[in-house]
Amino acid sequence: MKHTMKHIADFLAPPSGRRTVAAAGIGLLAGLALIACVSDEPLRAWLILLSGAMPELRQGADGGWHWQRLVRFGTVLEDTVNLTLLGLAVLIPFRARQFALGADGQLFLGALAGAVVGLAWPGPGWMALPLAAIAALLAGGLLGGATGVLKWRYGANEMVVSLMLNLIAIECYRLAITRWLRDPDAGFPATPFLPPAASFTPWIPDTGVGPMLLAAPLAVLAVALLLGRTTLGYEIRVSGAAPAFALQAGLPVGRATVLSMALGGALAGLAGFHIGHAVLGRLPVDLAPGLGFEGLLVALLARHQPRAILGAAFFYAWLRAGGQAMERGSDVSREIALVVQALVIVLVMAERWPWPRRWLFWRAA
């Protein structure tokens, strides 16, 4: 019982968390300095960057209170789910010391597999969503697993393989959308809308925020349990932390390598399912490219700790929405938001900072 409490406490407030929060704060302050260089009203622009993603409670003409800007906040939550799943997708292989960058391709194939099942499923409606999700998990997982098998059996560098498989997967996706799944009535190449049985009812109107919002914390919990509490997670961590030691101790390093990539791929596939079935409701020929790499950044921001992924993803999504709001509401372009993001990541990743620790952790000292 004592252990359980301790574990929960450690889980919620890891000692490394303070450092990350400090890095984020400094990065944001540096952003203010940067904005001051390019803007006539830097403080206002900066405040929009910070608060632009926040929904607003306003009194309407009828005297009642209404939430404003909920759609924008909805995008933040949608992005949080995507980035959480993608961050975990990068994190699991990384913990086995595999630098697999295949989340993009796995996301596309996952979305495609989910959409095919959603469009074609003839059976009872209640099974449509679970089946589509399983299809997405399998598609992403197989692609990730293939990368792992190529690495383990044939020594093919996982970074090269995953980047090349990204190209193949994305072009397969586009081919399938334009050639076989295209909705002739749509004005642009896209699939038909998914049937209601294969869609989620949004909790916030006009957004994709629905039951899939729960997938993010559940996935984090599942990955934290996997890595911390299962024998497979132990094998993955030891293989990553000291490969020679793992081999010597007789751990199944190959299996751990392949499974880490397959599990990561499955989560990226689930992100594709989320985009298709919860956010867009149909699949256009072009999904936002580079989402997989944002997952990599989120994983870096979380310093490869599963429990920190959710916060990192939310921060990232928040800043992105804030950047868009800043562009609309001030004379500063959203690239500044990207620079701030980059600064924060650099600060978080830095092993040592040029100023003494006690400045940052005066409370801890």
- Cα distances (angstroms) measured from residue 259 to each of 125, 253, 255: 32, 10, 6
Residue 353 backbone phi and psi in degrees, to 5? -110, 155
Could you say which of 95, 97, 237, 282 contacts another protein (CB under 8 A)?
237
Could you say which of 122, 124, 155, 250 contacts another protein (CB under 8 A)?
250
Residue with tokens 């292989």: 93
Q: Which stretch binds another protein (CB under 8 A): 59-67, 191-199, 227-235, 330-338?
A: 227-235
Q: Which stretch binds another protein (CB under 8 A): 87-95, 235-243, 314-322, 332-340?
A: 235-243
Could you say which of 214, 249, 338, 346 contacts another protein (CB under 8 A)?
249
Footprint on residues 294-353 left by another protein (CB under 8 A) = none
Q: Output 6 or 66, the one with its CB closest to another protein.
A: 6
d(CA 246, CA 253): 7
Amino acid letter, 27:
G
Tokens linked to 309: 């992924």
Smallest distance, Å, CB 98 to another protein? 16
d(CA 306, CA 223): 7
Could you say which of 64, 184, 248, 363 contacts another protein (CB under 8 A)?
248
Smallest distance, Å, CB 300 to another protein? 18
Q: Is 247 in the site for another protein (CB under 8 A)?
A: yes
Amino acid letter, 159:
M
Q: Output 156 or 247, the one with its CB closest to another protein.
A: 247
Strand partners, 190: 284
- Cα distances (angstroms) measured from residue 50 to each of 21, 68, 82, 320: 15, 17, 21, 10
Q: Output 58 or 229, the one with its CB closest to another protein.
A: 229
Smallest distance, Å, CB 240 to another protein? 9
Q: Is 238 in the site for another protein (CB under 8 A)?
A: yes
Q: Output 3 or 363, the one with its CB closest to another protein.
A: 3
In our burial notation (b when 16+ CB lie closer than 10 A, e otherwise), range 243-273 reads beebeeeebebeebbbbbbbbbbbbbbbbbb
Residues near another protein (CB under 8 A): 3, 228-234, 237-238, 241-242, 244-251
